[in-house]
Amino acid sequence: MKVKLMAFAQARETFDFSEKIVECEVGRTPRELMELVAPGVSLEGLRVAVDCEFVDWDKAIGEAAEIALLPPVSGG
């Protein structure tokens, strides 16, 4: 399946993209997916949201459409 990765604030600089469409297996976790997309990049200090809900990095994403990578405090 395809999933849209979105990186905000410093995550955009860390991963060098703001949006990216990637192939992903249903059982993958956000941590596993990011290891494939950006091997070796630290996820420390970042939060992850799957389809607009904050989740643990090690929870399977299921059939998610979007994954957002955010700094610990985000808003506006």
SS3 breakdown of the chain: % helix, strand, coil, rounded to 5?
A: 20, 30, 50
The CATH fold of domain 2-70: Ubiquitin-like (UB roll) (3.10.20)
- How much is the pLDDT for 74? 47
Relative to beta strand 47-50, strand 66-70 is antiparallel
Residues 22-69 pLDDT 10s: 999 989 999 999 999 999 999 998 999 999 999 999 999 999 999 999
Task: Break the chain into its structural domains and give their ranges.
Answer: 2-70
pLDDT above 90 for 73: no
